[in-house]
Amino acid sequence: MCNSTPSTTDLGLIDKNHACSCGTDDHSAAHSDAGEVKTEGTVREHYLVEGMTCRHCVASVTEELSAVHGVESVSVDLHAGGTSRVMVVSSQPVPVGDVRAAIIEAGYSLVTA
């Protein structure tokens, strides 16, 4: 885990042209109750992760999640010292246990409801 001082530096990790990190304007059709966004053949699942404070943290989580079977890409909306939002893009749903194990392996905690 990284012990750097939290900052508000924009790391360019999200598309600020969209109100939602899913990148769609039609949220009524795109979002399910589980926080999953589907477009033809693509699943985007959002997770909350605690403990990340810097770019190294983002890189660690991204590396571990990218190694999970089926994951095509990972993007992180870093909230240094708080709860960060992580989006995992895959062609089919990825078991939450696999996501949790990858986040723990990176040294962080998956927030559960």
Give the CA dihedral 56, 97, 76, 28, nearest 10 degrees.
Answer: 180
**Amino acid letter, residue 107:** G
Intervals of the chain under pLDDT 70: 1-40, 113
Instruction: State residue 43's pLDDT score.
Output: 95
Instruction: State residue 86's pLDDT score.
Output: 97
Instruction: State residue 113's pLDDT score.
Output: 56
Please report the domains of the chain, with CATH numbers, ordered by start residue.
Answer: 35-110 (3.30.70.100)
Mutual angle of helices 55-66 and 96-106, in 10-degree steps: 140
Instruction: State residue 112's pLDDT score.
Output: 79
Put simply, whether the predicted model's pTM sits higher than 0.75 gets the answer no
Instruction: State residue 40's pLDDT score.
Output: 64
Instruction: State residue 20's pLDDT score.
Output: 41
